[in-house]
A and B are shown apart, each in its own frame.
Chain A
């Protein structure tokens, strides 16, 4: 991979990391769970952080064109940023402001930017799978050359729509890249303990869907695997499967201290931090650490600007609660 390409991926990962760190801080006191109490938080409700998982969306989305699409999960900030969404309307959405992508109606769990082909995060595990399959089916019907990357976690492989959606995509030879972003946890429980058989990729292969497994913390590995699989999809070979193994550095939600897991496990995982791994690669390219520090500082400045804009942005009026529901019967809310 060229140094410029790698720097671009690093920059996107740094933006995601900075966004997640800022969102985490702003959500302190935002939800009463895991023993934490409600306080005056800027970001309300459950906030699912993708800290440490940045290489997966960045490596995959670098291979998508503007006209291609993705579906995402409840842990979707990284996917949204990697697909090209702007930080400011994202942060505004987390802050519940009228200027957010969803006008404050969705928040973190439903964040979407259809203008860049980000067809929505989703509050229900595995729910994005049939939606991605349907969008891909629409591309097939309309003759569009677009493809879709469908992100989901390891917990999703134990839900029915996983089987149904993969089966559907295969029988209809649809242009879907299924991306299992395996962070090892199904909410607060180790996915291994809850999952029979040899895992995600084997399940896909049992349906005749070919795929690759890769180190999900190595952005080059993710990038190259996704490039290979998307190439097959664009050649008309039908759905492909990427099993990207990463690690959920934070708890299930931002206020979850993840006290149920072994500290050594976390320490080992932190040694494989995707941004740190990328930094190691740059030395081979002769790029100085100072240059990378500059990129990180720039990403942090972008997020700081988004935070300032979000804090200053107006909340939606109460009347906005009654728009964008349905046209038939609009006004008949009682």
Chain B
């Protein structure tokens, strides 16, 4: 099944198992713009698959109210860029309610904020903000790269009881892959996507697939790359990363988000502090995503750049 279908299947399964799970957002009644809600309105009805006006702040804020009143809302934000209209509701309300009310209430919601550069969608539909939300105490940040992980991590996110910023990548919706319904994927656990011994490459989301292709090429050139799919950005799997880096003694972090102040800096700094080994990080240049193909390509991390970094 595809990455989009996997997310849909996970949500449908959760909605069947738990009446408290509802979905709300723009166009969810018609399957969502990427089809990730296809058929859910038919199965669960408009009371639980709730069409919303174009009111991002209130979609998120109402989800906070629903959660405080005992529901488990899945919040559709269309693209992560639009969630910027709901920053107070996400950062000041959802992330803080449990703490500032002294544990009297919790906000178990999953906010789906699709990230990533996406086929000519330009500067306001293609940003990757995972580092912003990783910076916010109270939030969990998840970025699945495969259909399997989109299934299991969405389920884990719905089950965890914390507010989760769930970041699917818009260029992965059509990605095909096997999905085992029973396979566990706890939040906060990375996955070794490829074993290697010369260099540890930590990545997530769509960049995983670019990284795996680069690792394949590097193997042909005699460099053995261990690729770690971080999967959860916060809490990130320090143990897995440190264990691998301690073995390979070299670290490269690759993400699509802008490199400056990106989450790669946190990982690289931690590994440098803990292990004192050479670290590098790659990310997009600090430029807006342009519309025209050559401009858009400039915002991506190219395979050539990664290959060059792997060669050291």
On whether the two chains bind one another, the answer is yes
- Whole-angstrom distance from the CB of B116 to the nearest CB of chain A? 23
Check: B196 CB closer than 8 A to any chain A CB.
no
Cβ of A131 < 8 Å from any Cβ of B? Answer: yes
Q: Which of B38-56 contact A (CB under 8 A)?
A: 47-48, 50, 52-53, 55
- Which of B61-69, B252-260, B297-305 has 4 or more CB atoms under 8 Å from chain A? B61-69
Q: Give chain A nearest CB distance to B2 CB in angstroms.
A: 27
Bound-state CA distance A78–B59 (Å) is: 28
Query: Counting CB contacts under 8 A, is B276 at the interface?
Result: no
**In the complex the two chains form, is B61's CB within 8 Å of A165's CB?**
yes
| Contact indicator A165/B48 (Cβ below 8 Å) | no
Q: Is B217 an interface position by the 8 A CB rule? A: no
Whether A112 contacts B101 by the Cβ 8 Å rule is: yes
Is A326 in contact with B58, judged by CB distance below 8 angstroms?
A: no
Asked, given contacts A167-B53, A324-B102, A325-B99, whether A141 binds B22 with beta carbons under 8 Å apart, the answer is: yes
Interface size, B (range): 35 or more
A129 neighbours in B (Cβ, 8 Å): 58, 61
Contact B162 A327 (CB under 8 A): yes
Q: Which stretch in B29-37, B133-141, B204-212, B221-229 binds the other chain?
A: B133-141
B120 within 8 Å of A by Cβ?
no
Q: Which of the four size classes fits the interface of chain A?
A: 35 or more
What distance in Å separates the Cβ of A204 from its nearest Cβ neighbour in chain B?
15
Distance in angstroms between the alpha carbons of A115 and B105 in the assembled complex: 10
Query: How many Å lie between the Cα of A19 and that of B243 in the bound state?
Result: 57
Determine the residue in chain A with the shortest Cβ distance to B93. A127
Once A110-B101, A114-B105, A324-B99 are accepted as A-B contacts, the answer to whether A130 and B60 lie under 8 Å apart by CB is yes
List of B residues within 8 angstroms of A123 by Cβ: 92
Bound: A274/B139 CA distance, A: 43
- Min CB–CB distance A83 → chain B (angstroms): 14
Q: Which residues of A contact B235 (CB under 8 A)?
A: 328-329, 332
Identify which of B70, B101, B103, B238 contacts A138 (C-beta below 8 A): B70
A132 within 8 A of B: yes
The contact of A326 among B22, B52, B140, by CB within 8 Å, is B140
Tell whether A155 is near chain B: CB-to-CB under 8 Å. Answer: no
B residues less than 8 Å from A137 (CB atoms): 50, 62, 65-66
Q: A283 at interface (Cβ–Cβ under 8 A)?
A: no
Among A101, A133, A141, the residue within 8 A (CB) of B104 is A101
Question: Least Cβ distance of A162 to chain B in Å?
Answer: 10
Q: Is the CB of A134 within 8 A of B100?
A: no
Q: Which A residues from 54 to 90 make CB contacts under 8 A with B?
A: 69, 71
Q: How far is B162's CA from A127's CA once the two chains are assembled, in angstroms?
A: 20
Binary per-residue interface labels of chain A (196-210) against chain B in the complex, 1 for a CB within 8 Å, 0 otherwise: 000000000000000
CA of A327 to CA of B60, assembled, Å: 21
Inter-chain CA distance A10–B66, complex, in Å, is 34
Inter-chain CA distance A104–B48, complex, in Å, is: 36
Question: Can you report 11 A-B residue pairs in the complex whose CB atoms are below 8 A from each other?
Answer: A120-B101, A134-B61, A137-B50, A141-B66, A161-B57, A165-B61, A168-B52, A168-B62, A171-B53, A326-B139, A332-B235
Which 6 A-B pairs give the minimum distances between C-beta atoms?
A134-B65, A130-B61, A329-B235, A134-B62, A102-B102, A138-B69
Residues of A within 8 A of B (CB): 69, 71, 100-106, 110, 112-115, 119-120, 122-124, 127, 129-142, 160-161, 164-165, 167-168, 171-172, 323-329, 332
Which residues of chain B have a CB within 8 Å of any CB of chain A? 22, 47-48, 50, 52-53, 55, 57-58, 60-71, 73, 88-89, 92-93, 97-105, 137-140, 160-164, 187-188, 234-235, 238
